[in-house]
Structure 1
Amino acid sequence: MSKQHKQSQKRYNEISSDIRFQVIIGIVLIIAIIIFSYLNLNRTALLQIESPNNIIIEKNTNTIFLETLTLRQKIAQMIITYDKKENKEQLQNLLIGGIHIGAKSSKEEFLSQLSDYQAQAKIPFLLTIDLEGCGNPFESFAKFPAVVNISTNEEAYIIGYQQGLLLKELGFTINFAPVIDLNDTIWKCRTFNGTIEEISEKAASYIKGLQDTGIIATAKHFPGKTIIANDPHKDIVITIIDKDDIEPFNYVKKENVSAIMVSHQITSGFIDSNGKPSTVSKEVNVKIHEQFDGLVISDEIGMGGLKSYYKDDITNLYIDVFSSGNDLIIYFNTDISQLVQLIDIIETSVKQGKIREKDIDKSVYKILKAKGFNVINHKLYK
């Protein structure tokens, strides 16, 4: 064999070896991509989600025994997440407390999806909506006036009652309304007009109309002045609260509003949040609970204002919002793994003594009562 031929053969072997190596690397990469894609697409299926079959409910008396819920299930009951029908089974298995429903194309779609959510739920979801008086999620089949155009207490009651009948028919549990902030300069159409007394009375009349149909009304956003300058969906709001700002809230408390939503702004003055967003301020929650034993609901904790305050320190955000006195935490993250992470963090915090389990139980007791259960809890705390 000639020297030139040997060199050619050697070069051929080197090239062949290099090609084989590249092919092997390519195959390995393709396999890795396929595995990663599979895991990414199926990560919710791989999560260890507890079966809710441990819960004891006496059907004939609609009695639920609180101590049969695990700590993780009780934490999950305090969460309201966002509507995503692909998550239905995981949300049912996790025992998530509620689902906030977005706009649909028709009445039939609302009826179908809400019924589908509840069909296999061991504990019914709280199904919530924002029918505030500005944007109307039922625009295609039901018309309602803007709240700002409601002129009398009688009209406020009728609108509340009409909306309540529709919400009940569709399968809703809670309406996140009315807005009783004074001087809403961003969405003026969703707040009542008039003096503080007139606003308070219209709000109470609307609430009575809504609750007379069995729908839970939510006065928001305590302690007021939520959107007078900046939008808390984007920025942290810092404001001074006057006595006038909380007068509508005090009024509707006396008129038996079922729930109050607390906002994210940092406040001073008549209500001092001690330098923290109101949602995570124990000082603000103490004020809410004065002469009020209904549900306290956080505003959505994924809002830009709250996240910017915590500088993406999700762990402390979660701990603070659960430990400050909120009964229900709104979190519109539809990634099941993120909801599981939230439950993990709160479970660990309870075991570490950062959050008291008896406070979790108090909130879940109220939530289950709001769902229509007779609730029995034999667990004793020191």
Structure 2
Amino acid sequence: MAAGCAGSGAAEPAAGRAGTAPAASRPAESATATPARATDASASSRVDAVLAKMSVEEKVGQLFMPVLYGPAADTVSGENQARFGVGTPAKMIAKYRPGGVILFPWAQNVKNVRQVVALTNGLQAASPRIPLLVGADQENGLVSRLAPLVTKFPGASVIGSTGDPSLARRAAEATGAELRALGVNLDFAPVADVNINPRNPVIGPRAYGSDPKKVAPMVAAAVRGFHDAGIAATAKHFPGHGDTGVDSHTGLPVIRHSRAQWDRLDAPPFAAAIREDVDMIMSAHVVMPKLDPSGDPATLSKPILTGLLRQRLGFEGVVSTDALDMAGVRKKYGDGEVAVRAILAGADLLLMPPDYRKAHAAVLAAVESGRIPAERLDESVRRLLTLKAGRGILERAPAADPAEAERTLRSAEHRELASLISRKAR
């Protein structure tokens, strides 16, 4: 179930993002304050300093973003015990030191504003050495994991129908401000797919439209809006999920676009997002045989993630897998091997592995054996740390304030913006 797809469990040049001043030299900041930017050299130096002090186990931990169960960091849950061998989210973080976590209502993470603020603050307190990416799947519209706490903005297709990218930017900025107030620093949005197939069972109105020339500026504007709010943005689902007739939660879609068709139909919104320094791009569990004849989904495809995304489009930021518990990526390999192959293909962040301990052990063993070279591991960890530096959370995560969150979420200004978008929709 993708972190950004519509299932109950659900899913992109960015190196050298600037970070903030070292924690010792800046005042305490609220969760809604947009972090100041430092020089690229400063951010790179601080990233290298953190990386040099990390053990192999800590580096492997940074590659993972699991779901943790319960409404508080110290909530004892049978799910946590079964999946991680420890009872609470805080103990899981202390044991495995993951790079981040993703919040879902079905994991009992989202009850009310003050509870979410306490949860995100508690999760960050459990990771004092390297703060967490705290992600949410808040596309608005069909995929709105923080509803009904946040403003009910129209989905991407409605915004796209206005023909006004400035509204995409304003909606993303407002959404980002609300996420940041809750202690969430990464949104798995915007959707950069071009919904070419009207029978698409999984994208549909989650996309800004069916014309890449109109979708691309909307995606770019949304990335700018999230950045205006100090939130990391994720363009998804690369290399494109818009022409599928199969839901990758339950099957493995095959898209038969030629390379020329891909360049014309699928690539433009991702290229636009990259030009806006998008923090993260999420892979798709789709097979594109004209781009990679191996039969592997893009999540496990080096020709696609490294060849097309890194080398052809020049993306230097974080590549996240779509959720690894989805059927589309689990058909051919076991849950441990999938995690290893995703890293070898070019992914940096392993999202929601269904068997966390098996995936973690497999990646650690692959590093220790040399199958995943130490240099390859460091590449991914450096990208993740650079993202954190760029969003002001490498040395210290901002503390969310419950009173400020209650003022920010569903504010009159945000509700009026949502109404304006609906009125301008065609």
Task: Report the TM-score range of the alignment, normalised by the length of the smaller protein.
Answer: 0.7 to 0.9
Query: What is the CA distance between 1:168 and its match in structure 2?
Result: 0.9
- Tell me which residue corresponds to 2:177: 165
1:237-261 Cα deviation digits (max 9, x unpaired): 1112322111211122122211110
- Tell me which residue corresponds to 2:302: 282
1:192-237 Cα deviation digits (max 9, x unpaired): 0263111100111111001111111101000113562111011011
One-letter amino acid of the counterpart of residue 257, structure 1: V
1:223 maps to which of 225, 239, 251? 239
Query: What is the CA distance between 1:59 and its match in structure 2?
Result: 5.5
Query: What is the CA distance between 1:273 and its match in structure 2?
Result: 5.6
Secondary structure, aligned partner of 1:296: strand
- Tell me which residue corresponds to 2:157: 148
Query: What is the CA distance between 1:344 and its match in structure 2?
Result: 2.2
1:189-200 aligned within 5 A: 189-193=205-209, 195-200=211-216
Name the structure with the higher strand share.
Answer: 1
Query: What is the CA distance between 1:67 and its match in structure 2?
Result: 2.4
1:166-315 aligned within 5 A: 166-183=178-195, 185-186=200-201, 187-193=203-209, 195-225=211-241, 228-241=244-257, 242=261, 243=263, 244-269=265-290, 271-272=291-292, 274-286=294-306, 287-290=308-311, 291-310=314-333, 313-315=334-336
Give, in whole Å, the separation in 2 of the partners of 1:317 and 1:138: 29
TM-score normalized with structure 1 length: 0.76
- Tell me which residue corresponds to 1:127: 134
1:278-304 Cα deviation digits (max 9, x unpaired): 101110112111311111111111111
For the pair shown, the structure with the greater C-alpha radius of gyration is 1
One-letter amino acid of the counterpart of residue 361, structure 1: D
Q: Which has the larger displacement, 187-196 or 293-302?
A: 187-196
Kindly indicate whether residue 60 of structure 2 is the aligned counterpart of residue 79 of structure 1. no
One-letter amino acid of the counterpart of residue 295, structure 2: G
- Unpaired segments of 5 or more residues in structure 2? 1-21, 26-42, 71-87, 396-426
1:96-107 aligned within 5 A: 96-103=98-105, 104-107=110-113
One-letter amino acid of the counterpart of residue 365, structure 1: R
- Unpaired segments of 5 or more residues in structure 1? 1-57, 376-382
Give, in whole Å, the separation in 1 of the partners of 2:146 and 2:282: 23
CA contact (8 A) 2:194 2:210 kept: no
Give, in whole Å, the separation in 2 of the partners of 1:371 and 1:224: 26
- Tell me which residue corresponds to 1:322: 343
Aligned residues: 311
- Tell me which residue corresponds to 1:378: none
Kindly indicate whether residue 24 of structure 2 is the aligned counterpart of residue 60 of structure 1. yes
Secondary structure, aligned partner of 1:234: coil
Q: Report the aligned-residue RMSD.
A: 2.1
Query: What is the CA distance between 1:93 and its match in structure 2?
Result: 3.0
Kindly, what percent of the aligned residue pairs are identical? 24
Query: What is the CA distance between 1:308 and its match in structure 2?
Result: 1.5
One-letter amino acid of the counterpart of residue 127, structure 1: V
CA contact (8 A) 2:187 2:231 kept: yes
- Cα 1:315–1:138 change in 2 (3 A) is closer
One-letter amino acid of the counterpart of residue 111, structure 2: S
- Tell me which residue corresponds to 1:354: 371
Give, in whole Å, the separation in 2 of the partners of 1:218 and 1:341: 27
CA contact (8 A) 1:273 1:283 kept: no
Kindly indicate whether residue 352 of structure 2 is the aligned counterpart of residue 331 of structure 1. yes
CA contact (8 A) 2:336 2:361 kept: no
- Cα 1:226–1:352 change in 2 (3 A) is farther
Give, in whole Å, the separation in 2 of the partners of 1:285 and 1:296: 8
Secondary structure, aligned partner of 1:265: coil
One-letter amino acid of the counterpart of residue 95, structure 2: N
CA contact (8 A) 1:167 1:173 kept: yes
Give, in whole Å, the separation in 1 of the partners of 2:361 and 2:286: 27
CA contact (8 A) 1:282 1:325 kept: yes
